[in-house]
Every structure is written in C-alpha cells, then in structure tokens.
Amino acid sequence: MFTYESNFDIYQGVLVEVDRTVVAGLLGGKGRVYLGLSGGWVMFSGDRLNDELVIEWEDYGYAYGGNVGFMYYLNDRMDLSLSYRYLKLKETCGAEACIQDNINGFEVALHYFF
C-alpha cells in the first residue's frame, strides 16, 4: 500500500507499507490478524526561536517501522481495519529543531476493492 499522510504544519510523509496475515479465519472466516512493515520519506516543518527571532525551518529524512492490525471483511468489496503503527525517524532535524523521534498511533481504515 502507498500512503501519504500529513499532520498539517508538523510533518508530511510518503510511505510504502506491506503486511502479511498471521492468523486467518476468525469470526466466521471474515476476520484476520496481520503484521506489517512500513518505510518511506518524511518532511518536518515548523517555526522555532533562534536568537530571539522566529524562523521557519524544514528538514527531511526517512522513517521505518512496523504495524499490527485486525481486518474484518464486511462483504466481497469492502473491509474494515483497526491497526497500530510505530515509525522510527532517522536523519531528521538538527538537535535544536527536532520535535520528535517517532510517529505512532492507531488508525481505522475502510478499504474498497475495485
């Protein structure tokens, strides 16, 4: 899966995510548990105080990590997914500007198959 995400004025990222089913056939054959890997490019931006002046800054780097989730097939064309993803950030921000060193959180997704 290719993903673009943005946290408005803090970061933007373009990621490639792959997953693999580890437990299938749950809830009458419609549910599955999966594990996955993610990686991609991240751009940070924002404002910081430098010698009593507020300046804008941008920095680029990469991120990698993993995810775990549960997917439930609603019908032949749609599924609902709940997952947790953790990304470790590398080569991002100078020490005085870096605002975080990881991105993590839960996501809920509704997938439609064409």
pLDDT for 5 = 83
Question: What pLDDT is recorded for position 62?
Answer: 87
* Confidence (pLDDT) at 94: 54
Q: Tell me, what's the pLDDT at 23?
A: 93
DSSP letters, 89-100, are EES-S-TTT---
Joined tokens for residue 97: 């500007």
pLDDT at 4: 87
Instruction: Answer yes or no: pTM beyond 0.75.
Output: no
- Which mean pLDDT values do the consecutive 10-residue runs of the chain (114 residues) have? 80 89 91 95 71 65 92 94 90 55 87 89
**Residue 30: its pLDDT value, please?**
92
Burial of 73 (0-12, 13-18, 19+ CB in 10 A): middle
By C-alpha distance, which of 93, 81, 42 is closest to 64? 42
Residue spans of the domains in the chain: they are 2-112
How far is residue 98's CA from residue 65's CA, in Å, rounded to a whole number? Answer: 19
